[in-house]
Structure 1
Amino acid sequence: MVDYDRRKLIASNHTFTHILNFALREVLGDHVDQKGSIVLPENLRFDFSHGKPVKPEELKKIESIVNEQIKDEMDVFAKEVYPDPVRVVAIGRKVEDLLSDPQSEEWLSISAELCGGTHISNTREAKAFALLSEEGIAKGIRRVTTVTLDYALKAAELASSLGQEANEASKTEGSLLEQKVRSLNGRVESLPIPTAKKAELKVKLSVLQAFHLS
């Protein structure tokens, strides 16, 4: 028996394997090559070639590119191509359009890959995208963990709530401020929020600590 709810979750993350790969190459360069991925109902783990840690501003840009593709409500197309039967998945343009003019530079702005898996039919179905972590796992190999759907919406809500708390904390002084900053630092570190936002909040809290607790 097919678990359609689970399949829907996996389909969203599977489609965003392709979009994430595209966004990584857009921001970091053409040297980025997928080295592995694990698509689960609750998240997507993606390994890729890159020789150094990805900067917070780069992560923010990657996340922004992916979310723009959700806002643009792009259709996801798939077609088997012959003579060697391979399935091409293209996001935002029909596969036939790509095949009619394979050398067109227009296709540089879309994601198109060979894939036999299950996908959503339009990017809007993913609701939102959040990049939760980035780390090195081997020499020249980085790993990001991301979420879509309600997991991503929740991550954004948590980040916004922590940001508001940090703003409120800035209006306090002395031991109360110290207590609030300590509590916020712990939650920023442990809660599943976008990693670029996590970096911003850490800077904000360190500034609060430096200027108000010195």
Structure 2
Amino acid sequence: MANAEENLITILKEKYEYENERKRYYDGVISLPVTLLGFIVAGVYFIVNDENKVPWFEKSKPFFIYPLILTTVVSMYFLYRVFFGLKRKYCSFPETTDVMKDYKNIKDYYANQPQNSQTQKNIDNDFIIKWYTDINDNNIKVNDTRMNNFHYSKFSIGISYLLGILVFGLYCVTKISHKPMAKPATVQTPPPPPKPAPSPVRRERSDQPTKPAK
């Protein structure tokens, strides 16, 4: 019986370490999805603020931009739950005061019992098994929830990238196909030459009186 309990404790301990590895994985995988979301946000900002002169593209922008913004927000929500919302839900071994309290209860129990090291060892194993079982049950639920949220976020990021690639492709097509028409060159006619100013009429002055006519 003692060997079976020790084997069970070994299995539970390995499970505990496995769940800790899962926890460390989800704690350290944040860099890639955050980088992808940064590219998506930058692309949306660029396309929204660019004034495209093609009417059909301008009218179709809301049908692509709004779903793209929605999937980006959904991705950020699930990533928040993965990296911040559930990290405080993990359990570890009981605190020192709880361990000492259990140890005192066991010690008081055996003080009034005949000495039997095997029985004492079995009861000690029962406490350890209970600790591992409670911790593993809680940590499995937390890790499974984080795993589901992480997969949801990856799915939303994938949809965002598909929409972003589609919008960017249409944007490139409009930029290549729609070239601004060159304005026809206008020939500037020279202004007409200015008209010459009229010359003043010169009148001869006569200081001698005119002779009367005969």
TM-score by length of 2: 0.26
TM-score by length of 1: 0.26
Q: Which structure has the higher relative contact order (CA within 8 Å, separation 6+)? A: 2
Looking at secondary structure, tell me which structure has more strand per residue. Answer: 1
